Amino acid sequence: MKILVCISSVPDTTTKISFTNNSTEFDKSGVQFVINPNDEFGLTKALQLKEANPGSTVSVIHVGSDTSDPIIRKALAIGADDAIRINTEAVDALQVANEISIYVKANPFDLILTGKESIDHNGAIVPHALAEILGIPSVSPCIGLEIDGSEAKLTGIVDGGKEEFSASLPVVAGGQKGIVEEKDLRIPNMRGIMQARSKPLNIVTASGSASSQRIANFDAPTPKAACKMVDANNMEELVNLLQNEAKVI
Amino acid sequence: MSVVIYIEHTEGTVKKNALEAASYAVKYAEKTGDTAIGVAIGKVSEDEIKKVGTVGLSKVIKVDGHDYLNHQKVAAILAEVANTLGANTIIFAGSSEGKATGPRLAIKLSSSVISEVVGTPSSTAPITVKKKCFSGKGLANVELSSDKNVIIISTNGFGVHEKTVDCVIENTSSTASDDSIKHLSFDRNTEGVSLPDAELVVSAGRGLKGAENWGMIDELAASLEAATACSKPVSDIGWRPHHEHVGQTGIAISPNLYIAIGISGAIQHLAGVSSSKTIVVINTDSEAPFFKAADYGIVGDAFDVVPKLTAAINAAK
């Protein structure tokens, strides 16, 4: 089984977000970039499936410039067999999905794993868009995935609960915590790090997919009005505020 | 030109965030000079659909049949309807269904797609909308340069703007479908109130000191008919089940009320709850960062305050 894991590079979860250049750019100074946490769940799932299906391979793909090479090497150190970097800045979700789809059409895979969303753009667009472009099924967020030959069973989060689907490979699954347990997430060990240096990292020319969106500028989040403090001994007042002022109960 | 709004329903009722999305569509169409038209598919009564009349949506196309729907089927049907209507904008609620359907529909229609949108266009040439980014720590003003756009709004980001009109329903049918993904089973979130869809949530963290102290949290939740949630540390050490963990690597929720008890308010936790309409924080530490993100704050001992709050809620019923 040929498995492809799509990874993006994001500011780590503790980053204090600020903007620069008249708020037209995200301020990258001092920011530590990591593999998008949701993608890591997909990567571990891919490695588990590879081990359960001998003869399988796990490739990682990333759309970005060479500043992302450290996180791509980390994915190789975690256990992927080879990597592909499509050499262009990731500008918007559809551009990324298009670039990946062009590579996949020339190099087919049986299973494509992504993260359900990236923690910087929060689009949740790539998994479904990529699948639609390729004309294959998608389940995202996906919290369960079993492969039996050429059939997949996928558990997705839907409104009100979880739905189990079946589909023939190839499919796209957008992973998150739950597709594997957090305690089972793979991390690089010394051997992995050494091996990563010689695993293939293929730089591929981008096709130049157009972008249909442009971030004009950023704003800080709308600040909340000052917190109204309520005396700990006056819960009747809090209930009153929640009923009559906030109108939430 | 039409602005189409997909009206979601479940078990015969129009979903809560469907009204917010319909309200957004009406306001969007006012800005761009288009006509807003709703589309509902499948098993829902006309009386239910007409609720969108309370937010100013005066026309809904009801596609009959299709008792079972998933995101791929809906995308196929909506593509057909959108093309028939000559729609240039299709709007979805920020539900699981909306977020899964929107991107697939955008590819079918060769349109752009944007999600977590919190406002109607600030400009119409080009269409510019504001969306949440960096897990709630930022907002981006995005210019859309394509002729057609799919817009997925951020739940509780726009709100419901009341405007009563008569809603007229037009029936139609569609043979569009997608059977490449087959339904096996549906597992409803049944433990109490389902957390991802809950309007009221009571959440607690390390300040509770031990798993055995959660009884008072359950009682507060019961008094409000609320769902329960927790912070990452207490889910990691097993005091609470994993599905209750809200945060950047847990689930993101958008309730009307989020009560946080004994949770300090780390950035990663806030990322999961920043879409909440009203946040109440109860903490012994007056310096807890969560107070900066709260609407109402109580500095006090949870073991004192929580039972008193439950009593006050029950007394007010």
| Residues 78-97, chain B, touching A (beta carbon < 8 A) | 95-97
Token digits of residue B185: 């089973």
pTM: 0.93
Please give the average per-residue pLDDT across A100-115, as a whole number.
98
pLDDT computed for residue B196 by the predictor: 80
* Domain ranges within chain A, ordered by starting residue: 2-218
Cα distance between residue A170 and residue A196, in whole Å: 27
Cα distance between residue B234 and residue B250, in whole Å: 12
The DSSP line for A102-146 is HHHHHS--SEEEEES--TTT----HHHHHHHHHT--EEEEEEEEE
Mutate to test the interface with B, among A154, A215, A227 (most CBs of B within 10 A): A227
Q: Does B110 touch chain A (CB under 8 A)?
A: no
Would you say residue B184 lies in a domain?
Answer: no
Single out the residue of A191, A195, A188 nearest to residue A75, CA to CA.
A188
A115 to chain B: closest CA residue: B249
Which CATH number covers residue B22? 3.40.50.620
Would you say residue B179 lies in a domain?
Answer: no
Model confidence at A108: pLDDT above 80: yes
Cα distance between residue A126 and residue B305, in whole Å: 45
Q: Does residue B209 share a domain with residue B167?
A: no
What is the maximal distance between C-alpha atoms in chain B?
61
Token digits of residue A22: 């008249």
Name residues whose C-beta falls within 8 Å of residue A240's C-beta, 6 or more positions apart in sequence: B316
Burial of A183 (0-12, 13-18, 19+ CB in 10 A): exposed
ipTM: 0.95
Query: Are B23 and B157 spatial neighbours (Cβ–Cβ below 8 Å)?
Result: no
pLDDT computed for residue A134 by the predictor: 98
Burial of B70 (0-12, 13-18, 19+ CB in 10 A): buried
Q: Does residue B210 share a domain with residue B78?
A: no
Token digits of residue B91: 């709007």
Mutate to test the interface with A, among B92, B137, B148, B185 (most CBs of A within 10 A): B137
Please give the average per-residue pLDDT across A126-139, as a whole number.
98
Q: What is the pLDDT of residues A25-80, one digit of tens each?
A: 999 999 999 999 999 999 999 999 999 999 999 999 999 999 999 999 999 999 99
Q: Does residue B54 share a domain with residue B124?
A: yes
Would you say residue B182 lies in a domain?
Answer: no
Q: What is the pLDDT of residues B162-218, one digit of tens each?
A: 999 999 999 999 999 999 999 999 998 766 677 887 899 999 999 999 999 999 999
Please give the average per-residue pLDDT across A81-101, as a whole number.
97
φ/ψ of B233, rounded to 5, equals -55, -40
The Cβ-side half-sphere exposure at B281, using a 13 Å CA radius, reads: 27
A140 to chain B: closest CA residue: B100
For the packed helices B215-224 and B302-316, what is the interaxial angle rounded to 10 degrees? 20
Q: Does residue B204 share a domain with residue B149?
A: no
Q: Does residue B216 share a domain with residue B166?
A: no
Burial of B166 (0-12, 13-18, 19+ CB in 10 A): exposed
Interchain proximity A159–B108, CB inside 8 Å: no
**pLDDT tens per residue across all 317 residues of chain B:** 899 999 999 888 998 789 999 999 999 999 999 999 999 999 999 999 999 999 999 999 999 999 999 999 999 999 999 999 999 999 999 999 999 999 999 999 999 999 999 999 999 999 999 999 998 889 999 999 999 999 999 988 898 999 999 999 999 999 999 999 999 999 987 666 778 878 999 999 999 999 999 999 999 999 999 999 999 999 999 999 888 999 988 888 989 999 999 999 998 899 899 889 999 999 999 999 999 999 999 999 999 999 999 999 999 98
Cβ contacts of A37 on chain B, cutoff 8 Å: 248-249
Would you say residue B215 lies in a domain?
Answer: yes
Single out the residue of B134, B159, B166, B150 nearest to residue B54, CA to CA.
B166
pLDDT computed for residue B77 by the predictor: 98
Interchain proximity B128–A216, CB inside 8 Å: yes
Q: Does residue B132 share a domain with residue B15?
A: yes
pLDDT computed for residue B192 by the predictor: 65
- Strand, helix or coil for residue A236: helix
Interchain proximity A213–B114, CB inside 8 Å: yes
Strands (E) in chain A, as ranges, are 2-6, 9-11, 19-20, 25-26, 33-35, 57-64, 82-87, 111-115, 138-148, 151-158, 161-168, 171-175, 201-205, 213-219, 228-229
Query: Are A78 and A43 spatial neighbours (Cβ–Cβ below 8 Å)?
Result: yes
Cβ contacts of B271 on chain A, cutoff 8 Å: 13, 119
Interchain proximity A216–B138, CB inside 8 Å: no
Q: Does residue B139 share a domain with residue B18?
A: yes
Q: Does residue B118 share a domain with residue B63?
A: yes
pLDDT computed for residue B191 by the predictor: 62
Q: Does residue B153 share a domain with residue B117?
A: yes
Residue B78 is part of which domain span? Answer: 2-172
Would you say residue B180 lies in a domain?
Answer: no
In terms of phi and psi (left: phi > 0; alpha: psi -120 to 50; beta: otherwise), the region of A88 is: beta
Would you say residue B183 lies in a domain?
Answer: no
Q: What 8-state DSSP symbol labels residue B55?
A: B
| Residues 285-314, chain B, touching A (beta carbon < 8 A) | 291-301, 304-305, 308-309, 311-313
Query: Are A101 and A134 spatial neighbours (Cβ–Cβ below 8 Å)?
Result: yes
Would you say residue B274 lies in a domain?
Answer: yes
Cβ contacts of A231 on chain B, cutoff 8 Å: 298
Cα distance between residue A146 and residue A154, in whole Å: 7
| Residues 128-157, chain B, touching A (beta carbon < 8 A) | 128, 130, 132-146
How close does chain A come to B242, measured CA to CA in Å? 9
Cα distance between residue B192 and residue B232, in whole Å: 21
Q: Does residue B252 share a domain with residue B288?
A: yes
Cβ contacts of A213 on chain B, cutoff 8 Å: 112, 114, 142-145
Instruction: Characterize the bridge pairing of strands B127-133 and B123-124.
Output: antiparallel
Cα distance between residue A4 and residue A56, in whole Å: 11
Q: Does residue B228 share a domain with residue B128?
A: no
> What sign for the dihedral angle of Cα A103, A108, A109, A112?
positive
Instruction: Characterize the bridge pairing of strands B127-133 and B138-144.
Output: antiparallel
Q: Does B115 touch chain A (CB under 8 A)?
A: yes
Of the partner residues B8, B136, B296, the one whose CB lies closest to the CB of residue A241: B296
B113, B141, B172 - which closes a domain: B172
A206 confidence band (pLDDT: 50, 70, 90): very high
| Residues 218-237, chain B, touching A (beta carbon < 8 A) | 224, 236
pLDDT computed for residue B188 by the predictor: 84
Mutate to test the interface with B, among A10, A26, A213 (most CBs of B within 10 A): A213
Determine the CATH number of domain A2-218: 3.40.50.620
Would you say residue B185 lies in a domain?
Answer: no
How close does chain B come to A59, measured CA to CA in Å? 24
B115, B137, B172 - which closes a domain: B172
Interchain proximity B181–A166, CB inside 8 Å: yes
Between the alpha carbon of residue B251 and those of residues B21, B283, B317, the distances in Å are 22, 22, 31
A130 to chain B: closest CA residue: B104
pLDDT computed for residue A31 by the predictor: 96
Which CATH number covers residue B306? 3.40.50.1220
Interchain proximity A160–B298, CB inside 8 Å: no
Q: Does residue B134 share a domain with residue B85?
A: yes
Interchain proximity B180–A216, CB inside 8 Å: no
Domain count, chain B: 2
